Amino acid sequence: MNAQLLLAWALAAGAAATASSPRRPVVPPNLSGTYVIDHNASDDPRKAVERATSSMRRFKRNAVNSRMQDAMKTPDTLHITQRGDSVMLATSGRLRMTVVPGQPTSRTGQQGGTAETAGAWEGGALVVRTTAERFQRETRYALDSDGARIRVAVAMRAEQLSQPISYTLVYRRAAASPSN
Protein backbone atom coordinates (compact mmCIF):
# COMPACT_ATOMS: atom_id res chain seq x y z
CA MET A 1 0.00 0.00 0.00
CA ASN A 2 2.79 2.44 0.91
CA ALA A 3 4.55 1.64 -2.37
CA GLN A 4 1.35 2.49 -4.28
CA LEU A 5 0.99 5.80 -2.41
CA LEU A 6 4.62 6.63 -3.04
CA LEU A 7 4.24 5.83 -6.77
CA ALA A 8 1.05 7.92 -7.02
CA TRP A 9 2.77 10.83 -5.25
CA ALA A 10 5.82 10.60 -7.58
CA LEU A 11 3.61 10.55 -10.68
CA ALA A 12 1.56 13.51 -9.44
CA ALA A 13 4.70 15.50 -8.58
CA GLY A 14 6.20 14.76 -12.00
CA ALA A 15 3.00 15.83 -13.77
CA ALA A 16 2.82 19.03 -11.73
CA ALA A 17 6.46 19.86 -12.51
CA THR A 18 5.91 19.24 -16.21
CA ALA A 19 2.75 21.36 -16.26
CA SER A 20 4.39 24.26 -14.45
CA SER A 21 7.64 24.33 -16.44
CA PRO A 22 7.63 27.02 -19.13
CA ARG A 23 7.53 25.83 -22.71
CA ARG A 24 10.15 27.15 -25.02
CA PRO A 25 8.73 28.66 -28.19
CA VAL A 26 9.54 26.71 -31.32
CA VAL A 27 11.88 28.78 -33.46
CA PRO A 28 11.32 28.16 -37.17
CA PRO A 29 14.39 27.53 -39.32
CA ASN A 30 15.75 30.41 -41.35
CA LEU A 31 14.98 29.50 -44.96
CA SER A 32 16.58 32.68 -46.35
CA GLY A 33 18.82 32.17 -49.35
CA THR A 34 19.00 31.61 -53.06
CA TYR A 35 18.57 28.07 -54.28
CA VAL A 36 19.16 26.50 -57.71
CA ILE A 37 17.09 23.59 -59.01
CA ASP A 38 18.69 20.14 -58.96
CA HIS A 39 16.88 18.45 -61.85
CA ASN A 40 18.50 15.07 -61.13
CA ALA A 41 17.19 14.98 -57.55
CA SER A 42 13.76 16.44 -58.39
CA ASP A 43 10.58 14.83 -59.63
CA ASP A 44 9.29 15.82 -63.06
CA PRO A 45 6.06 17.81 -62.51
CA ARG A 46 4.88 17.01 -66.06
CA LYS A 47 4.95 13.29 -65.27
CA ALA A 48 2.97 13.95 -62.08
CA VAL A 49 0.30 15.70 -64.18
CA GLU A 50 0.25 12.82 -66.65
CA ARG A 51 -0.23 10.29 -63.81
CA ALA A 52 -3.08 12.31 -62.32
CA THR A 53 -4.88 12.66 -65.66
CA SER A 54 -4.18 9.21 -67.10
CA SER A 55 -7.69 7.89 -66.39
CA MET A 56 -9.43 10.81 -68.16
CA ARG A 57 -10.81 10.62 -71.64
CA ARG A 58 -8.36 11.89 -74.23
CA PHE A 59 -10.02 15.24 -75.02
CA LYS A 60 -10.46 16.16 -71.35
CA ARG A 61 -6.98 14.86 -70.47
CA ASN A 62 -5.39 17.01 -73.19
CA ALA A 63 -7.29 20.11 -72.05
CA VAL A 64 -6.40 19.60 -68.38
CA ASN A 65 -2.77 18.76 -69.23
CA SER A 66 -2.48 21.91 -71.29
CA ARG A 67 -3.78 24.12 -68.46
CA MET A 68 -1.77 22.37 -65.77
CA GLN A 69 1.54 22.30 -67.66
CA ASP A 70 1.71 26.10 -67.65
CA ALA A 71 1.20 26.15 -63.90
CA MET A 72 3.78 23.40 -63.40
CA LYS A 73 6.80 25.10 -64.94
CA THR A 74 9.80 24.48 -62.71
CA PRO A 75 11.65 27.69 -61.85
CA ASP A 76 15.45 27.51 -62.11
CA THR A 77 15.96 29.58 -58.96
CA LEU A 78 14.13 30.05 -55.71
CA HIS A 79 14.80 33.15 -53.59
CA ILE A 80 13.59 33.21 -50.00
CA THR A 81 13.85 36.20 -47.73
CA GLN A 82 12.75 35.67 -44.15
CA ARG A 83 12.41 38.65 -41.81
CA GLY A 84 10.66 38.15 -38.51
CA ASP A 85 7.35 36.41 -39.20
CA SER A 86 7.34 37.36 -42.89
CA VAL A 87 8.63 35.00 -45.60
CA MET A 88 8.96 36.32 -49.16
CA LEU A 89 9.10 33.65 -51.85
CA ALA A 90 10.31 34.57 -55.34
CA THR A 91 11.26 32.42 -58.29
CA SER A 92 13.70 33.31 -61.04
CA GLY A 93 13.68 36.95 -59.93
CA ARG A 94 9.90 37.40 -59.89
CA LEU A 95 7.99 38.00 -56.66
CA ARG A 96 5.54 35.20 -56.11
CA MET A 97 4.14 35.82 -52.65
CA THR A 98 4.80 36.98 -49.15
CA VAL A 99 3.54 34.69 -46.41
CA VAL A 100 3.07 35.57 -42.77
CA PRO A 101 2.22 32.35 -40.92
CA GLY A 102 -1.09 32.72 -39.13
CA GLN A 103 -2.28 35.60 -41.35
CA PRO A 104 -4.27 34.31 -44.36
CA THR A 105 -4.52 36.49 -47.45
CA SER A 106 -7.14 36.54 -50.16
CA ARG A 107 -6.72 37.53 -53.80
CA THR A 108 -8.80 37.59 -56.95
CA GLY A 109 -7.47 35.64 -59.91
CA GLN A 110 -7.38 36.57 -63.58
CA GLN A 111 -10.70 34.87 -64.22
CA GLY A 112 -12.43 36.50 -61.26
CA GLY A 113 -12.27 33.64 -58.76
CA THR A 114 -11.01 34.19 -55.23
CA ALA A 115 -8.25 32.19 -53.58
CA GLU A 116 -7.13 32.22 -49.96
CA THR A 117 -3.51 31.54 -49.04
CA ALA A 118 -2.39 30.69 -45.52
CA GLY A 119 1.01 29.76 -44.18
CA ALA A 120 2.04 27.88 -41.07
CA TRP A 121 5.16 26.37 -39.56
CA GLU A 122 4.75 22.61 -39.20
CA GLY A 123 7.56 20.47 -37.87
CA GLY A 124 10.32 22.77 -39.12
CA ALA A 125 8.75 23.30 -42.55
CA LEU A 126 6.91 26.30 -43.96
CA VAL A 127 3.61 25.02 -45.31
CA VAL A 128 1.66 27.27 -47.68
CA ARG A 129 -1.92 26.27 -48.50
CA THR A 130 -3.92 27.92 -51.26
CA THR A 131 -7.61 27.15 -51.56
CA ALA A 132 -9.99 28.26 -54.29
CA GLU A 133 -13.47 27.11 -55.25
CA ARG A 134 -12.35 23.99 -57.14
CA PHE A 135 -8.66 23.83 -56.36
CA GLN A 136 -6.32 23.24 -53.41
CA ARG A 137 -2.53 23.42 -53.37
CA GLU A 138 -0.17 22.68 -50.50
CA THR A 139 3.50 23.55 -50.84
CA ARG A 140 5.91 22.49 -48.10
CA TYR A 141 9.35 24.16 -47.90
CA ALA A 142 11.78 22.16 -45.75
CA LEU A 143 15.54 22.47 -45.34
CA ASP A 144 17.64 19.34 -45.22
CA SER A 145 19.43 18.85 -41.91
CA ASP A 146 22.67 20.37 -43.24
CA GLY A 147 20.89 23.42 -44.73
CA ALA A 148 22.48 22.85 -48.15
CA ARG A 149 19.22 21.90 -49.86
CA ILE A 150 15.59 22.80 -49.63
CA ARG A 151 12.86 20.38 -50.63
CA VAL A 152 9.68 21.83 -52.06
CA ALA A 153 6.91 19.23 -51.86
CA VAL A 154 3.78 20.14 -53.83
CA ALA A 155 0.37 18.48 -53.63
CA MET A 156 -2.57 19.74 -55.68
CA ARG A 157 -6.16 18.69 -55.81
CA ALA A 158 -8.66 19.93 -58.34
CA GLU A 159 -12.28 19.07 -58.97
CA GLN A 160 -11.56 17.64 -62.42
CA LEU A 161 -8.73 15.35 -61.21
CA SER A 162 -9.42 11.81 -60.05
CA GLN A 163 -6.24 11.83 -57.94
CA PRO A 164 -3.96 14.54 -56.57
CA ILE A 165 -0.89 15.80 -58.37
CA SER A 166 2.14 15.50 -56.14
CA TYR A 167 5.85 15.95 -56.72
CA THR A 168 8.98 17.16 -54.96
CA LEU A 169 11.52 19.66 -56.24
CA VAL A 170 15.01 19.79 -54.75
CA TYR A 171 16.98 23.02 -54.77
CA ARG A 172 20.64 23.40 -53.73
CA ARG A 173 21.73 26.48 -51.85
CA ALA A 174 23.66 28.74 -54.22
CA ALA A 175 27.13 29.80 -53.21
CA ALA A 176 27.19 33.26 -51.69
CA SER A 177 28.51 35.82 -54.13
CA PRO A 178 31.56 37.74 -52.96
CA SER A 179 30.77 41.29 -51.90
CA ASN A 180 32.62 44.14 -53.53
Closest CA to 103 of 114, 89, 116, 118: 118
* pLDDT (0 to 100) of residue 1: 47
Q: Which is higher by pLDDT, 68 or 134?
A: 134
* pLDDT, average across residues 111-119: 87
pLDDT per residue over 121-172, tens digit each?
A: 998 999 999 998 888 999 999 999 999 999 999 999 988 787 888 999 999 9
Select 29-173's CATH number: 3.40.50.720, 2.40.110.10, 3.30.70.1350, 2.40.128.20: 2.40.128.20
Sheet holding 135-143, edge to edge: 94-99, 86-91, 77-83, 33-37, 165-173, 149-158, 135-143, 125-132, 114-122, 105-108
- Where exactly are the structural domains of the chain? 29-173
* pLDDT, average across residues 76-97: 87
